């Protein structure tokens, strides 16, 4: 599932292919993923418009139109962009396509239809209404630590809470806990300041590396080796425990017992 780094890769792709190009036509094949607008209205509002810039916050990508409104692209589990010219290159599960006047198209592919497309007339109002937290790569260490104060939830649950912190999903939460050697079920208020700061540092480092390497969520392997350890039964580094799998914070979670310490409230 696309998380912050993968959505950043989509942003780079969108900026390179689709900014400052007039939309001549819009074709909607299936408007199920459009959540606050129907297909016909979407066509009417985007035809003749131009995307002038984009903005990413967490897993959300917003395309700013020349009329001041925005289109929200949330990729769900299988959303993807495809920029192409030849009809033969149309993605198999394309839900809609923006036809630019240069002859190219930006198709939105989504096999499982879990993506969400919204047309927004007030971006800031929307962000406020959904309670979207600060971007995980923008939030300061001080603000991050303040959000941790008094939290009884697990560290995994804290990292996944998009109202507190936008952008970290299941895979990256596991990676952060692995690299800090903290058991993902550890209550936030059981962690000392040292562990909390380590989580913040690891989060920034992991997300920055992933962005620098333009991670794409459909790539099965990556040179950074993130997530490669997530194999049930695999021995932990230095042989301390094996990889376990269980539900934590409602999500399938991988961790090494023993190697990753389970902190408890004293």
Whether residues 36 and 140 share a domain: the answer is no
Whether residues 93 and 21 share a domain: the answer is yes
Residue 171 has pLDDT above 90, yes or no: yes
Whether residues 45 and 14 share a domain: the answer is yes
pLDDT at 220: 54
Buried (b) or exposed (e) across 56-91, using 16+ Cβ within 10 A? Answer: bbbbbbbbbbeeebbbbbbbbebbbbbbbeeeeebb
Say how many CA atoms lie within 13 Å of 223 toward its Cβ. 5
- Residues 211-236, mean pLDDT to the nearest whole number: 82
Residue 124 structure tokens: 């800031």
Kindly report the average pLDDT of the chain as a whole number: 96
What is 243-266 written as a DSSP string? Answer: EEEEEETTEEEEEETTTSB-----
Contact assessment for residue 129 and residue 160, using Cβ atoms and an 8 Å cutoff: no
Residue 39 has pLDDT above 80, yes or no: yes
Domain stops at, among 130, 153, 176: 130
pLDDT at 135: 98
68-102 residue pLDDT tens: 999 999 999 999 999 999 999 999 999 999 999 99
Measured CA to CA, the distance from residue 75 to residue 78 in angstroms comes to 6
pLDDT at 198: 98
Measured CA to CA, the distance from residue 219 to residue 117 in angstroms comes to 24
Pair type for strands 116-120 and 70-74? antiparallel
Domain stops at, among 130, 156, 188: 130
Residue 227 has pLDDT above 60, yes or no: yes
Percent of the chain residues topping a pLDDT of 90: 92
Measured CA to CA, the distance from residue 183 to residue 98 in angstroms comes to 45
Percent of the chain residues topping a pLDDT of 70: 97
Say how many CA atoms lie within 13 Å of 133 toward its Cβ. 20
Residue 225 has pLDDT above 80, yes or no: no
pLDDT at 215: 83
Has residue 235 been placed in a domain?
A: yes
Residue 222 has pLDDT above 70, yes or no: no
Measured CA to CA, the distance from residue 54 to residue 70 in angstroms comes to 9
Q: Which domain holds residue 26?
A: 4-130
Measured CA to CA, the distance from residue 72 to residue 124 in angstroms comes to 12
Whether residues 124 and 145 share a domain: the answer is no
Q: Could you tell me the pLDDT band of residue 224, with boundaries at 50, 70 and 90?
A: low
Whether residues 78 and 149 share a domain: the answer is no
Measured CA to CA, the distance from residue 29 to residue 178 in angstroms comes to 42
Q: Report which of 162, 156, 161 is spatially closest to residue 132, judged by C-alpha positions.
A: 162
If one counts the domains in the chain, the total is 2
Measured CA to CA, the distance from residue 251 to residue 52 in angstroms comes to 37
Q: Could you tell me the pLDDT band of residue 240, with boundaries at 50, 70 and 90?
A: confident
Whether residues 104 and 184 share a domain: the answer is no
Has residue 262 been placed in a domain?
A: no
pLDDT at 216: 81
Contact assessment for residue 175 and residue 165, using Cβ atoms and an 8 Å cutoff: no
pLDDT at 114: 95
182-191 residue pLDDT tens: 999 999 999 9
Residue 223 has pLDDT above 70, yes or no: no
Contact assessment for residue 161 and residue 130, using Cβ atoms and an 8 Å cutoff: no
């Amino acid at each position: 599932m696309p998380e912050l780094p993968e959505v950043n890769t989509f942003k780079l792709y969108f900026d390179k292919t689709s900014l400052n190009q007039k939309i001549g036509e819009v074709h909607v094949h299936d408007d199920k993923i459009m959540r606050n607008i129907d297909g016909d209205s979407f066509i009417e509002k985007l035809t003749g418009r131009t995307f002038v810039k984009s903005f990413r916050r967490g897993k959300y990508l917003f395309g700013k139109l020349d009329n001041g409104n925005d289109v929200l692209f949330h990729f769900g589990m299988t959303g993807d962009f495809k920029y192409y010219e030849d009809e033969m290159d149309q993605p198999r599960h394309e839900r809609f396509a923006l036809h630019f006047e240069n002859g190219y198209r930006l198709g939105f592919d989504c096999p499982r239809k879990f993506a969400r497309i919204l047309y927004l007339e007030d971006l800031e109002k929307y962000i406020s209404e959904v309670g979207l937290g600060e971007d995980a790569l923008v939030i300061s260490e001080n603000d991050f630590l303040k959000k941790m104060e008094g939290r009884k939830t697990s560290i995994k649950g804290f990292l996944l809470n998009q109202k507190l912190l936008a952008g970290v999903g299941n895979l990256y939460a596991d990676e952060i806990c692995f690299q800090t050697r903290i058991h993902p079920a550890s209550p936030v208020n059981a962690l000392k300041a040292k562990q909390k700061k380590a989580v913040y540092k690891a989060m920034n480092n992991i997300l920055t590396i992933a962005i620098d390497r333009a991670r794409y969520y459909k790539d099965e392997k990556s040179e950074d080796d993130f997530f490669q350890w997530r194999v049930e039964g695999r021995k932990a580094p230095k042989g301390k425990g094996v990889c376990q799998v269980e539900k934590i914070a409602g999500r399938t979670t991988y961790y090494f017992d023993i190697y990753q310490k389970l902190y408890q409230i004293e």
